[in-house]
Amino acid sequence: MSSARAERLVNLVLCLLSTRQFLTAERIRQIVPGYADARGDEAFFRMFERDKNELRELGVPLETGRLSSFDTVDGYRIARQDYELGDIDLEPDEAAAVALAARLWDSPELATPAHGALVKLRAAGVEVDEDQGRVQPRVRATDPAFAPLLAAVREGRAVTFKHQRGGVGGPVQRRTVEPWGVISWRGRWYLAGHDRDRKAPRSFRVSRIMEPVTPVGPARAVTVPDGVDLMGMVRVGVEPPPVSETARVWVADGRANGLRRLGTVVGRRTHRGRAGDELELGLRNVDTLARWLAGHGPDVVALGPGRLVEAVRANWAASAANHAEQDQADRAEPLART
């Protein structure tokens, strides 16, 4: 925005705040500096319409009305009670929390808005001591995808990107997402939104989103549904599900110490001539626990429930099939060369 236009908008706001009556466009043209420079009536009305739209987009409560039923032209004013900021009274601990939050953001994308919020609070008479307290929190936003995702949220624009599921080494899939927000949870950033491919709300860890993040579609096409809990979306996607039942596992002596630390020994047991312990584990996800148990080979045996036993056997069968295919391919390669 040019300095001349900014000055004209400020003068327009001051003018409309200073009157209780509705001022017509012609009267505003005579009072507010800057409008007299318009070349003709048509140029003035175009300028005035742009300024009115600008004020409404900035959140200025511009009223339209007439003084009496005999008037034939609309007038404008700004109700002071709707425009002015109400009294803000923060307790000392609340002011300290605001200062702590302002120090939290150390990325360029978030540092400027946080500083602007502090300036507005101080202008309203709220004392915020940024040096209070010894805690120095930091939420870093160094992931390359962070800035374009935050821009897409602000613009209300869908994005497409490649997402590496499960971290390094995991499968890479392309996703098209309508972004609702970028959320910090336990020191990590997550994108929450509507996944068009899955046709359902989903959250993605930002560090697993690969560049480039490409905007698709027009701006302001994405709206956040009413009542959606973005933090709740991230929490459900990140935190493990609750324990649904108890799994029973046999572990050979001296093996699977990590598994032993998470389980409870309920007794001694021999399996196929090998001594070991029977453990009980909280079962949260059958597939996850089955992959873990299958990775220990004959040193660990799933005893129950039945669906866990079947899942472990299915993992073993899939692993054996993969090894058989690889062996067959290795044998075929020398023959192909000859």
- Report if residue 91 sits inside a domain: yes
- Which range has the worst mean pLDDT, 72-81, 160-169, 188-197, 236-245? 236-245
Give yes or no: residues 205 and 253 share one domain.
no
The answer as to whether 328 is a domain residue is no
Please identify, among 216, 238, 260, the residue that sits at the C-terminal boundary of a domain: 238
C-alpha to C-alpha distance for 184 and 167, rounded to whole angstroms:
18
Domain final position from 176, 208, 238: 238
Tracing tokens 């579609």 back to the chain, one arrives at: 217
Local confidence band at 181 (pLDDT 50, 70, 90 cut-offs): very high
Question: Given this model, what pLDDT does residue 69 score?
Answer: 74
Please report the pLDDT score of residue 107 as a whole number. 54
Span 260-287, average pLDDT:
90
| Of 265 and 93, more confident | 265
Global confidence as pTM: 0.43
- Residue 176 belongs to a domain with what CATH number? 2.30.30
Q: Is residue 93 part of a domain?
A: yes
Phi and psi torsions of 181, nearest 5°: 180, 160
Helix ranges restricted to H, the chain: 3-17, 25-31, 41-57, 80-83, 92-104, 108-123, 146-155, 230-238, 257-262, 286-294, 306-337
47 vs 94 pLDDT, higher one: 47
Closest CA to 281 of 237, 318, 314, 240: 240
Task: Please indicate, yes or no, if residue 338 is contained in any of the structural domains.
Answer: no
Q: Please give the residue that has the higher pLDDT: either 156 or 326.
A: 156
Q: What is the DSSP string of 217-284?
A: S-TT---PPTT--HHHHHHHHHSPPPP-EEEEEEEETT--HHHHHHSEEEEEEEETTEEEEEEEEEES
Indicate if the pLDDT at residue 190 is higher than 50: yes
Domain count, the chain: 4
* Domain containing residue 173: 146-238
Q: Same structural domain for residues 95 and 108?
A: yes
* Least trusted range by pLDDT, from 15-29, 78-92, 166-180, 278-292: 78-92
The backbone region for 232, taken as left when phi is positive above 0, alpha when psi lies in -120 to 50, beta otherwise, is alpha
Q: Do 92 and 34 belong together in one domain?
A: no
Residue after which a domain boundary falls, among 45, 68, 83: 83
Domain harbouring 15, CATH code: 1.10.10.10
SS3 305: coil
195 with 276, same domain: the answer is no
Q: Which of 32-41, 111-120, 299-308 has the highest mean pLDDT?
A: 299-308
Asked if the structure places residue 332 within a domain, the reply is: no
Residues 159 and 203 reside in one and the same domain: yes
Specify whether 9 is located in the same domain as 71.
yes
In this structure, the answer to whether residues 256 and 310 fall within a common structural domain is yes
Q: Which of 33-47, 136-150, 164-178 has the highest mean pLDDT?
A: 33-47
Does residue 199 lie within any of the structural domains?
Answer: yes
pLDDT at 78 (0 to 100): 85
Same domain, 8 and 74: yes
Are 119 and 195 part of one and the same domain? no
CB atoms within 10 A of CB 24: 17
- The phi and psi torsions of 135 (rounded to 5 degrees) equal -75, 130
The pLDDT of 249-258, averaged and rounded, is 91
200 and 265, same domain (yes or no)? no
Lowest-pLDDT choice from 211-220, 229-238, 274-283: 229-238
Q: Are residues 255 and 223 in the same domain?
A: no
Same domain, 61 and 128: no
Is residue 212 domain-resident?
yes
